[in-house]
Structure 1
């Protein structure tokens, strides 16, 4: 109960636009939570009934591996997005942190690489994915390093 009062007091100190941002973040967080819950439910049903009980779950089958891990990564990306919104709601300076955006982009590219059919993908596309992953990794490292230097000692 004390946390609600403190949150209400902090909310009262915000400007009109900051209040608007926080309300939008709360709505988006709730919507993403609903989507994540539905995705986990759907994934559970597909894995349990579609693969396990039907006897078609063959971990050595690359297509099954791609499909299951693609769905799992989709849920992880949504969770990371929700987390970035919650972190943004707690901060007063900016809504979305660059580090979170880069992390979500890295997760999305990793998901794409996991579900990629290597027999259908040519070398230039693989090099492009590698370059994107390296560039995002460097940006993440630079932003993280900058954030560490700005933290109070």
Structure 2
């Protein structure tokens, strides 16, 4: 029964990898389309702040997608691999994306405090997980 569940888990991991690759390709196509659309309207090749923030957000989304796909490929397909560190690093990248595209004029101070608390908590958690890992596994 346990071996059947392990085989099922491996099949689901492969299905998720294929779906993630498709989503990543679509997101990259959307990014390219957005760039072409933004630079092809007058004034040509000049972007305003909102367009730049949208593009940076899409770039970060593609980077997060690549990181997630790599996480699935490396971590979940390797038996016995711990997932904690990778999940925390992806979460740090995701919150970094939120910070990069944040419009400081529209965000209240409590939201900024919340984002800071999440960032600090994720970083401390990552440091603890990394410190707990055996020395020979640290690259």
Partner SS state of residue 15, structure 1: helix
Task: Report the Cα distance in structure 1 between the residues aligned to 2:51 and 2:34, rounded to whole angstroms.
Answer: 11
1:3-18 to 2 correspondences below 5 Å:
15-18=3-6
Given the alignment of the two structures, is residue 87 of structure 1 paired with residue 74 of structure 2, yes or no?
Answer: yes
Number of residues of Structure 1 aligned to a counterpart in Structure 2:
135
Task: Report the Cα distance in structure 2 between the residues aligned to 1:86 and 1:149, rounded to whole angstroms.
Answer: 23
Unaligned runs of 5+ residues in structure 2 are none
Q: Is the 8 A contact 1:102 1:136 kept in 2?
A: yes
1:40-55 to 2 correspondences below 5 Å:
40-48=28-36, 50-54=37-41, 55=44
Q: TM-score, normalised by structure 2?
A: 0.86
Deviation at 1:148, TM superposition (A): 3.8
Task: Report the Cα distance in structure 2 between the residues aligned to 1:135 and 1:28, rounded to whole angstroms.
Answer: 28
Aligned to 1:132: 118
Deviation at 1:93, TM superposition (A): 2.3
**Hey, which bits of structure 1, 4+ residues long, moved more than 4 A?**
none
Highest CA radius of gyration, 1 or 2? 1
